[in-house]
Chain A
Amino acid sequence: MSETGIGKPVRRREDIRFITGNGRYTADINRPGQVYAVFVRSPHAHARIRNIETTAAIAAPGVAGIFTGKDLEADRIGKLICGWMIHSKDGSPMNMGAHPALALDRVRYAGDHVAVVLADSVEQAKDAAELIAVDYEPLPAAVHLTEAQAASQPQIHEEAPNNTVYQWHLGDKAAVDAAFARAAHRTRLEFTNNRLIPNAIEPRAAVAEYDAASGGYTLYTTSQNPHVTRLVLSAFIGIAPENRLRVVAPDVGGGFGSKIFIYAEEVVCTWAARKIGRPVKWVADRSESFVADAHGRDHHTVAQAAMDAEGKILGLRVRTKANLGAYLSTFASSVPTYLYAPLLSGQYDVPAIYCEVDGVYTNTTPVDAYRGAGRPEATFVIERLVEVAAREMGIDPAEFRMRNFIRKFPHQTPVLSNYDVGNYPACMKVALESADHAGFAERKRTSTAKGKLRGLGFSAYIEACGIAPSTAIGALGAGVGLWESAEIRVNATGTVEVLTGTHAHGQGHETTLAQIVSERLGIPIDQVSVIHGDTDKVQMGMGTYGSRSAAVGGSAVVRALDKVVLKATRIAARCMEVPEDSVEFTDGVFSARGTNRTMKFAEVALQAYLAHKFDTAEIEPGLKESAFYDPTNFTFPSGVHIAEVEIDPETGNTRVERWTAVDDFGNLINPMIVEGQVHGGIAQGIGQALLERTVYDDTGQLLTASYMDYCMPRASDLPSFDVAMTNTPCPSNPLGVKGCGEAGAIAAPAALINAITNALGHEDIEMPATPGAVWRAVALRAEKRAAE
Chain B
Amino acid sequence: MYAFEYVRPSTLSEAERALAAQPGAKLLAGGQSLIPALKLRLNRVPLLIDLSAITGLNRIERRGNLLAIGAMTTHAEVAASSVVKAAIPGLVHLAGNIGDPQVRNAGTIGGSLANNDPAADYPAAALALAAMLKTNRQEIAADNHFSGLFAGFAEDEILTEILFPIPRRFAYSKFPNPASRFALVGCAVAQAATGVRVVATGAGANGVFRVPELETALSASFSPDGLKRIVIDSSNLTSDIHGDAEYRAHLIGVMTKRAVDACLA
Contacts and interface: CB of A to CB of B under 8 A. Distances in A.
Say whether A associates with B. yes
Interface of A: 123, 126-127, 287, 650-653, 691, 693, 695, 703-704, 707-712, 717, 770-772, 775-776
B8 interface: no
A696 to B, nearest CB: 11
Contacts of A704: 179, 241
Contacts of A775: 247, 250
Contacts, number: 46
For B1, B182, B241, which residue has the most chain A Cβ atoms within 10 angstroms?
A: B241
A775 B254 CA distance: 12
A693 B41 CA distance: 26
B40 interface: yes
Interface string B202-222: 000000000000000000000
A652 B242 CA distance: 12
Interface residues of B: mostly helix, strand, loop or mixed? loop
A302 B241 CA distance: 25
B21 interface: no
Contacts of A127: 2
B233 interface: no
Given A695-B241, A704-B241, A775-B247, A650 B254 contact: yes
B1 A693 contact: no
B179 A772 contact: no
B243 interface: yes
Decide if the interface of chain A is mainly helix, strand, loop or mixed.
loop
Nearest to A692: B179
B180 A126 contact: no
Contacts of B247: 652, 772, 775-776
Given A709-B241, A772-B243, A772-B247, A651 B178 contact: no
Nearest to A779: B250
Contact of A709 (B2, B3, B179, B244): B179
The 5 closest A-B pairs by CB, nearest first: A711-B179, A772-B243, A708-B180, A711-B178, A650-B254
B185 to A, nearest CB: 9
Interface in B5-43: 40-41
B174 to A, nearest CB: 11
B175 interface: yes
Contact of B175 (A126, A693, A711, A771): A771
A709 B250 contact: no
B254 A770 contact: no
Interface in B38-64: 40-41
B79 interface: no
Given A709-B179, A772-B244, 9 more contacts: A127-B2, A651-B254, A703-B241, A704-B179, A708-B179, A708-B180, A711-B179, A771-B178, A771-B243
A467 to B, nearest CB: 34
A671 B175 CA distance: 39
A718 to B, nearest CB: 13
A709 to B, nearest CB: 5
Contacts of B3: 123
Nearest to A711: B179
A40 to B, nearest CB: 14
A709 B241 CA distance: 8
A710 to B, nearest CB: 6
Contacts of A126: 41
B129 interface: no
Contacts of B41: 126
B92 interface: no
B178 A691 contact: yes
B128 interface: no
B133 interface: no
Contacts of A703: 241
B224 to A, nearest CB: 12
B204 to A, nearest CB: 17
Contacts of B198: none
Contacts of A772: 242-244, 247
B259 interface: no
B251 interface: yes
Given A772-B242, A775-B247, A707 B179 contact: yes
A651 B241 contact: no
Interface string B225-264: 0000000000000000111100100110010000000000
Contact of A651 (B1, B2, B40, B251): B251
Contacts of A123: 1-3
Contacts of B242: 709, 770, 772
For B1, B184, B247, the residue with the greatest tally of chain A CB atoms inside 10 Å of its CB is B247
Nearest to B254: A650
